[in-house]
Amino acid sequence: MSPIKLFYSFAEEDERFVKRLRAHLKLFQTQGLIEGWNFRQLSPGVEWDAETRRQLEEADLILLLVSANFFNSSYIETVEMKRALERHESGDAVVVPVILSHCQWKKSRLGDLQALPESGNPISSRRWTNWDEAFDNVAAGVADMVERFPKRDAPISSEATSGAPSTLGTGFYGREADLERIGEAFAEDGCRAVVVHGRPGVGKSRIAAEYSAACGRPTYWATAGTDLELTLSGMASVLGLDTTSDNSAEVALQVKNRLNNSTDETLIHRGRQRVGPGTLLGRCLRATYKEVSVHHPCG
């Protein structure tokens, strides 16, 4: 198994905290479980901004070392934290705030994320006997997350998908529970489709694609819309059905029958709104589909 890549984002004024944290994580690095990077590791002559962005893009686990100094850095705010949260929301990485000292972090964009140490008690607070106790709590939390990351060398093929995200199998961690719930939904009697719903940016499409590729199901993608006939008729061509008819209702019926009668094909109907039994999709595929709600892995 390849090591999980860590990215440390912190303000220069807080470097002493970083050194202590790296010391507590050194055991996991020696064991080949993780490899960390921070801007102090930049080589002479390297263009620092480009290299920092590259390391941020390749990271699996991004630790944001939070303090007033952290929020006072414009580069952290506009580059590192911004991109880290984008990757977190898409499911490409996991972001964890590590609270160094008292600040108003809960009122920031990090407020919805699960932080370390436990309960978001700052490293420097009186909650801890000393810094080592606090950093040991952080190290235990990191170790737990690393254990729950899927095997890095597990192959995932995207050949069975049509219209799915193009980054299958790369940097997708911490969503095992969502994948399991999709599998459980398909295992129920009569289920021929699963509707994946959740807030915008939560990673619905990526989760659905990863599940489909991992289990090898032929998968067809439709964008959720208000007109069910147009949504379904738009899938006819990828299902290999007759699309010469000008009657969208007739074409939609063909698609519906194909999905309802197939045992090895998956419809991923994606969109921002939850799809319930009272909607058009519900009336069309009643008793043949299940709903799965997904959320951020650390928020």
**Same domain, residue pair 109 and 230:** no
Residue 155 has pLDDT above 90, yes or no: no
Between CA 219 and CA 225, with CA 221 as vertex, the angle to 5 degrees is 150
Average model confidence (pLDDT) across the chain: 75
- Per-residue confidence band for 277, with pLDDT thresholds at 50, 70 and 90: very low
In a domain? residue 221: yes
**Same domain, residue pair 113 and 187:** no
Question: Does pTM surpass 0.75?
Answer: no
The tens digit of pLDDT for each residue in 179-238 reads 787 778 777 766 656 666 665 556 666 677 677 667 665 555 544 444 555 556 666 665
List the CATH number of the domain containing 42: 3.40.50.10140
> Of the candidates 148, 170, 201, which is a domain's last residue?
148
> Of the candidates 96, 122, 148, which is a domain's last residue?
148
- Per-residue confidence band for 42, with pLDDT thresholds at 50, 70 and 90: confident
Report the DSSP beta bridge partners of residue 289.
193
Range of weakest confidence among 105-114, 139-148, 161-170, 246-255: 161-170
Report the DSSP beta bridge partners of residue 34.
4
**Same domain, residue pair 20 and 99:** yes
In a domain? residue 156: no
In a domain? residue 299: no
> Of the candidates 108, 127, 148, which is a domain's last residue?
148
Domain that holds residue 208: 161-293
List the CATH number of the domain containing 200: 3.40.50.300
The tens digit of pLDDT for each residue in 240-269 reads 677 677 777 777 777 777 766 655 544 444
Distances (CA, A) of 32 to 36, 93, 145: 11, 19, 15
In a domain? residue 153: no
Maximal C-alpha separation, the chain: 74
* Res 197: pLDDT: 62
Give the number of other CB atoms < 10 A from CB of residue 247. 10
Distances (CA, A) of 193 to 157, 204, 243, 268, 280: 21, 15, 22, 7, 15
In a domain? residue 81: yes
Indicate the helix (H) or strand (E) that contains 161: strand 161-162
